[in-house]
Structure 1
Amino acid sequence: MKGIVCDAIGELRFTDELPEPALTEGHVIVSIRRIGICGTDYHAFKGNQPFFHYPRILGHELSGVVDQIGDNSEGLAPGDPVAIIPYLHCGRCVACRRGKTNCCTNMQVLGVHVDGGMRERISVPVSHLLKADRLTFDEAAMVEPLAIGAHAVRRAEVAASDTVLVIGSGPIGLAVMAFAKHAGAYVIAMDINEERLAFCKTWAKADQTINTMEVDAKDRLSEWTNGEFPVAVFDATGNAGSMMKAFELVAHGGKLIFVGLVKGDISFSDPEFHKRELTLMGSRNATVSDFEHVMEVLGSRDLDISPFITHRSSFDQMVDSFGSWLNPESKVMKAIVEL
């Protein structure tokens, strides 16, 4: 079976000698059709991904077709198109018992903690498949990154007429913007890249943008909100400096949601934090309900992901293409691999 293995930092290897997955009780063999390339994959390749060990088969933004399946309660059959939920939770820990499967204490994420879907076929628990007959394979593969944004918006309880700020216009930041807009919020996008900010307006329908290379963000936000600041601020940068600065940009009584992950520590002013009675939240992964919400939005054609996917490659050429996607000059928004 063909597959791509990240053997070590900076080393991807194409092989046609991977073992075939065996069909076991409660699992499904899925033939992979699309693989989205995520920041996690880039970080793993460059050695910047926490909780990561080599060698590893990458890939967790996945769509495919049911190849082999036994009796199941999900109504799935061979030939069904599916989106894959890559978060393998235990179902027993304190988080799982409270319905927070996205932050299971024993979490195993495909392509991170265990081998992922950068191969022709993969075995997945039937509980982690969602029938995607209303979606294209491209759309089904994009459900996972979009669900991360949808989860953050739901976790923050964003409501219609709320003013929110999203810092960072990568794929996850854009997903946050899109689903905040879907919730009826007034969305301000912040970044240092003017081209990305323009995309925030055209694709995610952001109402305003701030380029922090040109203006002082705090002054501009104060001006636009009559000194009140956004009630929810999402930081999707994964940059410690940005995350610490974000504390100054939240309204009194507001929420700061860290969607991006930084490999290190973050500090903030405790008096300022208490004065504003801020709520600091981490937002990790997504739940089944977030996946279902995203699939409903995509299935109703309320969100067009075609401009979101800027680069694509065949599976056989992916190793050669991957290096160019790491180059900022390639202007990759989202790359996808076709099988």
Structure 2
Amino acid sequence: MSLMKALVCVEPGRFERTERPRPQARPGHLRIRIGHVGICGTDYHIYGGQQPFLSYPRVMGHELSGRSLDPSADGRIAGGDLVVVNPYLACGACHACVIGKPNCCERIAVLGVHTDGGMCEEILIPEGNAYGAEGLDEKAAAMVEFLAIGAHGVRRARLRPGSTALVVGAGPIGLGAAIFAAIEGADVTLRDRSASRLKLAGRALPHARLELVGQEASGAYDAVFDATGSIAAMNAGLDRVAHGGAYVLLSVVKGDLQFPDPEFHKREVTLLASRNALKADFEHVMANIRNGRVQVDALATHETGFDSAVTDLPLWAEDRGTLIKAIIRV
């Protein structure tokens, strides 16, 4: 059996290079030779032991681009084509899948979380989870997935040109939401507790208003997006939503949402959860990378090779305030 190299989180705090069996061709699936992997906050949490409902050892990695080793049966993808991987493996049969929302499938499995992911040379995925990425380079293609999460949240909010949007949390997901809110024509404010993170974010969003937590808040907004990963921040965010506005929760954390009902009703707030992304969001992101409206070079702040990732990922897990997105070259 042919072997391939892989990066495995053996247990919390233990990240190693190893070898695993190379995937075999299978009907209805494509073998993808991985080119680049974006490191997500989830990967850092897996390494740190903070990801619930996860079994070790785990090959992490769900922000993936690579070349298809097989042609797809429907002719969309030829052997050798660059593809972006949609890492959300949906069942196709539950209520959410039937109504066109596989992003919140009742039995969803996410590559690199519920099942082994793409920090390896090759993976096998269902044909429908590979999207052609013509016109992008492999590095940019590896950033499509996290941007699609922000784009999906923005689409849920139905922003109008000239509206105001506040994004709380200037990590990659928050940045994705801020970028696509601006693309929809909104006047964007980005808020974070880290001055260094806001400075980095300003490179990708030169026209956004940057607001440091602790400074005086700047009013109410047509749409507020929470990307903090903090239940306290999520509970406090209602205060920033204008009357008739929308509150979109991109963060998923343990804890209970608690809003004062009179204030919630008085403002007639639309409360929206936003989970993962749909094919339309991936396509929307790729179109805006191609047309230059998303400056991916400003987002990819760190890069490492496959061998050096064993050292670099643990270091970055301890100090994420100096990076936006780190990429592994496979």
TM value normalised by structure 1: 0.93
Paired position in structure 2 for 1:226: none
User: 1-side partners of 2:172 and 2:178: how far apart?
Assistant: 10
Q: How many matched pairs? A: 327
1:99 corresponds to which letter in structure 2? G
Paired position in structure 2 for 1:98: 99
CA RMSD of aligned residues (A): 1.4
1:3 corresponds to which letter in structure 2? A
TM value normalised by structure 2: 0.96
1:288 matched to 2:279? yes
User: 2-side partners of 1:332 and 1:148: how far apart?
Assistant: 19
User: 1-side partners of 2:210 and 2:191: how far apart?
Assistant: 6
Matches within 5 A, 1:76-115: 76-115=77-116
Aligned to 2:33, which of 17, 20, 31? 31
Paired position in structure 1 for 2:260: 269
Aligned to 1:246, which of 237, 244, 249? 237
Q: Unpaired segments of 5 or more residues in structure 2?
A: none
Aligned to 2:14, which of 4, 8, 11? 11
Q: 1:185 to 1:330 in 2, by over 3 A?
A: closer
Q: Unpaired segments of 5 or more residues in structure 1?
A: 222-228
SS of the residue aligned with 2:190? strand
Task: Check whether the contact 1:167–1:236 (CA below 8 A) recurs between aligned residues.
Answer: yes
User: 1-side partners of 2:75 and 2:106: how far apart?
Assistant: 26
Shift of 1:98: 1.1
User: 1-side partners of 2:319 and 2:311: how far apart?
Assistant: 16
Paired position in structure 2 for 1:45: 47
User: 2-side partners of 1:184 and 1:119: how far apart?
Assistant: 39
Greater mean deviation of Cα atoms: 196-205 or 22-31: 196-205
SS of the residue aligned with 1:231? strand
1:258 corresponds to which letter in structure 2? L
2:297 corresponds to which letter in structure 1? S
Greater mean deviation of Cα atoms: 267-276 or 142-151: 267-276
Task: Check whether the contact 1:160–1:185 (CA below 8 A) recurs between aligned residues.
Answer: yes
SS of the residue aligned with 1:92? coil
Paired position in structure 2 for 1:224: none
SS of the residue aligned with 1:251? strand
Aligned to 2:310, which of 299, 319, 324? 319
1:185 corresponds to which letter in structure 2? A
1:203-252 Cα deviation digits (max 9, x unpaired): 12443221122x232xx32xxxxxxx101100000111111110111011
SS of the residue aligned with 1:91? coil
Task: Check whether the contact 2:196–2:322 (CA below 8 A) recurs between aligned residues.
Answer: no
Paired position in structure 2 for 1:208: 209
Greater mean deviation of Cα atoms: 285-294 or 198-207: 198-207
Task: Check whether the contact 2:47–2:314 (CA below 8 A) recurs between aligned residues.
Answer: no
More strand by share: 2
Paired position in structure 1 for 2:178: 177
Shift of 1:198: 3.0
Paired position in structure 1 for 2:319: 328
Shift of 1:80: 0.8
Greater mean deviation of Cα atoms: 199-208 or 270-279: 199-208
Task: Check whether the contact 1:188–1:206 (CA below 8 A) recurs between aligned residues.
Answer: no
1:160-217 Cα deviation digits (max 9, x unpaired): 111010001001111101000000001011111223223333312443221122x232
Q: 1:329 to 1:40 in 2, by over 3 A?
A: closer
Matches within 5 A, 1:99-178: 99-178=100-179
User: 2-side partners of 1:211 and 1:330: how far apart?
Assistant: 14
1:254 corresponds to which letter in structure 2? G
